[in-house]
Amino acid sequence: MQIPCSYRDTRPVRYPEPVHIVLVKSQDGSFNPMSAAWVMFTSIEPTMLAVSIGFERYTYTLLKQQSEFVISIPSEKMLAEVEFFGSNSGREIDKLKELGTLTQPATVIDGLLLSEASANYECRVTGSFRTGDHLIFAGEVLASHIHQQKLPRLYILGPGVFGGIKPEIG
């Protein structure tokens, strides 16, 4: 039997929730990483995915200007990155430099891959769609990369749960 509740009341049961990192090039040539839970694959052929970005994010401003981005699936080693990239803005700080996160050049786009991630996808923006206070950017996946040790991905386990982090979304 279902009982009515607010949207927020349902949040604890959504865990574990996958998390990602979106990387977009800034105007100064550096790359800005942002934690993003709201990512999904949307097509097999061509391979496509979508990410939902809030209007106030620096990443939103950058993605309106840029035609390329990387979606990274952080590994279990990358909890510090997910917390930091998801609670600081690239408007004020160079997040990659601050944490000394290992990166390597993308192979097809002008982008950066996160070396310790479970996987990385190089994407080209194909369109966007407004949903309330976020914009969904759709991208075609031009190249995929996996960690050579096939590292397991990080999940948001929820507040109060071991290894979990509290997402600042919604």
Helices (H), the chain: 58-65, 79-85, 95-99
Q: Which residue is nearest to ligand FMN (CB)?
A: 86
Shortest Cβ distance from residue 91 to ligand FMN (Å)?
Answer: 6
Is 59 a binding residue for ligand FMN by CB under 6 A? The answer is yes
Is 49 a binding residue for ligand FMN by CB under 6 A? The answer is no
Amino acid, single-letter form, for residue 67? S
Which residues are bridge partners to 25 per DSSP?
Answer: 31
Which residues lie closer than 8 Å to 25 by C-beta, 6 or more apart?
A: 31, 32, 62, 66, 68, 110, 111
Shortest Cβ distance from residue 4 to ligand FMN (Å)?
Answer: 26
For ligand FMN, the binding residue among 19, 78, 106, 123 (CB under 6 A) is 19
Is 74 a binding residue for ligand FMN by CB under 6 A? The answer is no
Q: What is the DSSP letter of 121?
A: E
For ligand FMN, the binding residue among 48, 49, 50, 52 (CB under 6 A) is 52
What is the residue whose two structure tokens read 């993308």? Answer: 106
List contacts with ligand FMN (CB under 6 A): 19, 32, 34-38, 52-54, 57-59, 82, 86-91, 134, 156, 165, 167-169
